Amino acid sequence: MNQLLSSLEVFYHKLQAYHWYVKGLNFFTLHTQLESYYDQIAQQIDTVAETMLMVGQEPVSTLSEFLE
């Protein structure tokens, strides 16, 4: 489950970076949509981490652990 959690965390941060740096004619549409995506991923991250704790697993929590 830590592999899933790590993938979600990395994806979250990539989406957030795209959100911050989006440019162009469709800025407002893309900016809003990307925020919606990373908000959804944040909910999934929370669910995975809480599930891990409920079944006695220890979720990783640092960037270095996510990338490992």
pLDDT tens digit at each of 68 positions of the chain: 999 999 999 999 999 999 999 999 999 999 999 999 999 999 999 999 999 999 999 999 999 999 99
pTM of the entire structure? 0.89
- Kindly report each contact of residues 1-7 with a partner whose C-beta sits within 8 Å and lies 24 or more positions away, as own/partner: 1/48, 1/51, 1/52, 1/57, 1/59, 2/52, 2/57, 2/59, 2/60, 2/65, 4/48, 5/45, 5/48, 5/49, 5/52, 5/59, 5/60, 5/66, 6/60, 6/65, 6/66, 6/67, 6/68
Which pLDDT score is estimated for 23?
A: 92
The amino acid at residue 9 is E
Which pLDDT score is estimated for 64?
A: 94
Domains defined for the chain, CATH in brackets: 2-67 (1.20.1260.10)
